[in-house]
Structure 1
Amino acid sequence: MAREINWQKSSFSGNTNSCVELAPSAIPDAILMRESDDPDVIVTTTREKLRAFVLGVKAGEFDHLI
């Protein structure tokens, strides 16, 4: 039997269908990610890599891309 995935999105997303959702993985230390408007595409990453990405976003590392 497949386990249920409990997706979570930021409270800053409000009721929009355009946000990133996260969920714990059955694999230790792994995180699942998807875009709510394309829920069939799921990416797996580690907590360490996700943390580094979030810190980079907060520090403005990717501002030149938007």
Structure 2
Amino acid sequence: MGDITWEEPFCGEGASCFRLGIDTIGNAYIAIAGEEDAPLTDSRDALRRMILGIKAGKADHLL
């Protein structure tokens, strides 16, 4: 895994904070803020769609 550049955390109303990141070859990552050493990975587009859905309230129970 290459170096990951993390975006600022996205925090819900509770204590759930997530971060999106991308490495030098274009792989996307998502991690709980503070636990960036164990991220999930998928395509950047898939992760962006998931986060936009959560922000739009389609899955607010996940936060």
How high is the TM-score relative to the length of structure 1?
Answer: 0.54
| Structure with higher RCO (Cα < 8 A, 6+ apart) | 2
Provide structure 2 residue ranges, at least 5 long, that are not aligned to the other structure.
none
Q: Does the 8 Å CA contact 1:31/1:47 hold for their aligned counterparts?
A: yes
The aligned length equals: 60
CA contact 1:9–1:19 (8 Å) conserved in 2: no
**Does the C-alpha gap of structure 1 residues 56 and 4 become closer, same or farther in structure 2, counting only changes over 3 Å?**
closer
Relative to structure 1, is the Cα distance of residues 62 and 42 closer, same or farther in structure 2, using a 3 angstrom cutoff? same
- Report the RMSD for the aligned CA atoms in angstroms: 3.1
Kindly name which structure, 1 or 2, has the bigger radius of gyration based on alpha carbons.
Answer: 1
Gapped regions of structure 1 (runs ≥ 5): none
Q: Which runs of 4+ in 1 moved over 4 A?
A: none
